[in-house]
Amino acid sequence: MSITRVLVANRGEIARRVFRTCRDLGIGSVAVFSDPDADAPHVREADRAVRLPGAAAADTYLRADLVVAAARRAGADAVHPGYGFLSENAAFAQAVIDAGLTWIGPSPEAITAMGSKIESKKVMAAAGVPVLGELDPAALTADDLPVLIKASAGGGGRGMRVVTDLDQLAAEVERAQAEAHSAFGDATVFCEPYLSAGRHIEVQVMGDGHGTVWAVGERECSIQRRHQKVVEESPAPLVERVDGMRDALFDAARAAAKAIDYTGAGTVEFIADDAGRFFFLEMNTRLQVEHPVTECTTGLDLVALQLAVADGERLAQDPPVPHGHAIEVRLYAEDPAADWAPQSGVLHRLAVPGVTSEFAVDSAAAGLRCDSGVGDEATVSVHYDPMLAKIIAWAPTRAQAAARLAAALAGAEVHGITTNRDLLVNVLRHKAFLAGDTDTRFFDEHDVFAPLVADTAPFALAAALAIDAGRARTLDVPSGWRNVLSDPQSLTLGGHEVRWRVTRDGLQGHDGVELIRAAPHEVVLDVDGVHRRFAVHRYGELVHVDTADGGARFVIAPRFVDPSDQLAAGSLLAPMPGSVVRIAVEVGQRVTAGAPVLWLEAMKMQHQINAPADGVVSELPVVVGEQIEVGAVLAVVEPDAATEEDRQ
């Protein structure tokens, strides 16, 4: 191979994924990093790393000029774009080629052809690939609803809006344009019919530029939130079920790729109905996030193939035959119960039990793979995508893969940040999912939002006992020893006021619960005759308690409250970190309950902060453009004095 050193123009798990293959192939690696990523695992793992000054993606990972300069400076002779950022930017691909470097991806022409969703549909229709017709927003009638507004340059669900009401159309188009501009630098949007109950089916293709185009296998990614995939698998249950669908899909995918002389790895995405009819959505001219499910079922290393093809090698005549079933979930730092609000902060720990491989193709018949871009104590910032890791299970059957993945997730330790972990386990164990009965409305139709642990009381007790066991002792005597017994020990953990005492007769105050042993990181309780093991981790005042069946987190309430620390009533706190984009009020202004006070932009989405009650704005400590940390006071609304009736 002529490639000796690859720069990955990306961050996080995908950068690590590419580095892994580079290591396996004996190829050198170069990372680029923004300032917040200076200590990120992908930077530590690369042989060489080049700083891209700044934090925002637009100043760093989206700066084609800086990335090309970095490749030259670090001695790279090839550039891998990963996914997102510049991966589908034809100008960047061209700049890499013009710099005399090897571009690991399709030609700029192919990228351009597929870059405009509007244009690409025309090309596909001409090639005989089934497509959905485009709609003119101005000519829409109620019969056309619902429709989908999409960013032409988009991906990842950004700039995508579903419209079900004609009155909202104009506003939604405007918002989609704003988001598209913010995310992709291109405000162009288009409108198409929205298949509200469709299935998302995609085909992995690989072309070698010598005439061979593989359709390596399909993936189903119907379970989505906010048009972003959450669960992906291969093979697709729908395709398994409908006779002849796979052949038709693969033919369409190969036709699509051939129509634009596609080289390298790409994905042709379709929307399908339960009858197996499918329509071209778009083609992603890059490696997909969910590529591991294909690797796990085929044994291929898609990144290695990308490098080989970029180096001019030929593919074999036919791809390998997939075997078994693989399911991937995306672990996001987000709160599904709070409208999927992205979360940021410090990820103290991410530990998934039973992982057999990382970033690697594993040809075993069954296994568990974890591709994570974050290390312990990683700061998850507002600047980038909130995906923490991808966890993939594969096994001979779908049911086995789902069970293994669900168990691994339920026993995982994910600390510091709220994630969608519990939701993922609920999905993987849901009867509709297990029946292969999934479409893009899955989260609208199924309640999978309950936490795994309903009764957190034993978890709080375990946390209290572990905290107690971890206390520094100057004298090795029983904790809280008293010669005259009066009040129990107590600790307030979240909403639990845990009261207990351990005497020579054992744990007191908890009927049906016996203390088997307590150590700072592990507590074993006998609950109604069953020994249960609780793993406990503490980070300052935050405590995580995990079991094989899910976990709970608690914040230790302070024993004492310093009166000078008290917040004024009516304070509006930032629900997440972000920047203030607009302020609607002034100090002294009267507001009614629910009226907007200001807007925060975080994770490319705008969040409206409303007045909690009728009253007067008494404090407004922020200004437009200010970066806000979670929990910061944004404004204080002094509520109107309660009426005499209210008090009664």
Partner 1 sequence: MTVLRTAVDPASAEFAANRAALLEKIADLDTEHAKAVAGGGEKYVTRHHDRGKLLVRERIELLLDPGSPFLELSPLAAWGTDYTVGASVVTGIGRVNGVECVINGSDPTVRGGASNPYTLKKVLRANQIALENRLPVIGLVESGGADLPTQKEIFIPGGQMFRDLTRLSAAGIPTIALVFGNSTAGGAYIPGMSDYVVMVADRAKVFLAGPPLVKMATGEESDDESLGGADMHSRISGLADYFAVDEQDAIRIGRDIVGRLNWRKHGPAPKPDPAPPLHDVEDLLGIVPTDLKVPFDPREVIARIVDGSDFDEFKPRYGASLVTGWANLHGYPIGILANARGVLFSEEAQKATQFIQLANRADTPLLFLQNTTGYMVGKEYEQGGIIKHGAQMINAVSNSTVPHLTVTMGASYGAGNYGMCGRAYGPRLLFTWPAAKSAVMGPAQLAGVLSIVARQAASARGQQYDEAADEQMRNYVEKQIEEQSLAPFLSGMLYDDAVIDPRDTRTVLGIALSAVHSAPVQGATGYGVFRT
> Which residue ranges make up the site for partner 1 (CB under 8 A)?
468, 471, 473-487, 489, 491, 504, 559-563
**Shortest CB 533 distance to partner 1, Å:** 22
Cα distance between residue 151 and residue 180, in whole Å: 6
Tell me how far the alpha carbon of residue 5 is from its chain's centroid. Answer: 29
Phi, psi of 294, rounded to the nearest 5 degrees: -70, -40
Sequence-ordered strand ranges (E) for 52-127: 78-80, 102-103
**Shortest CB 554 distance to partner 1, Å:** 16
Q: Which helix (H) or strand (E) holds 206?
A: strand 199-208
- Give me the half-sphere count of Cα atoms (radius 13 Å) on the Cβ side of residue 339: 5
- 22 vs 464 by CB, closer to partner 1: 464
- 489 vs 606 by CB, closer to partner 1: 489
Instruction: State the residue for tokens 């109604």.
Output: 528
Residues whose CB is less than 8 angstroms from the CB of residue 442 and which lie 6 or more positions away in sequence, other chains included? 222, 223, 224, 427, 432, 433
Cα distance between residue 287 and residue 614, in whole Å: 51
- 103 vs 500 by CB, closer to partner 1: 500
Q: What's the one-letter identity of residue 29?
A: S
**Shortest CB 458 distance to partner 1, Å:** 20
Cα distance between residue 623 and residue 256, in whole Å: 50
- 111 vs 467 by CB, closer to partner 1: 467
Q: Which residues pair with 638 in a beta bridge?
A: 616
Cα distance between residue 320 and residue 361, in whole Å: 14
- 562 vs 645 by CB, closer to partner 1: 562
- 523 vs 628 by CB, closer to partner 1: 523
- 109 vs 541 by CB, closer to partner 1: 541
Cα distance between residue 411 and residue 304, in whole Å: 32
**Shortest CB 565 distance to partner 1, Å:** 11
CA-based nearest residue to 382, from 328, 432, 334, 421: 334
- 560 vs 648 by CB, closer to partner 1: 560
**Shortest CB 462 distance to partner 1, Å:** 16
**Shortest CB 479 distance to partner 1, Å:** 4
8 touches 307 (CB < 8 A): no
Q: What's the one-letter identity of residue 2?
A: S
**Shortest CB 466 distance to partner 1, Å:** 12
**Shortest CB 503 distance to partner 1, Å:** 10
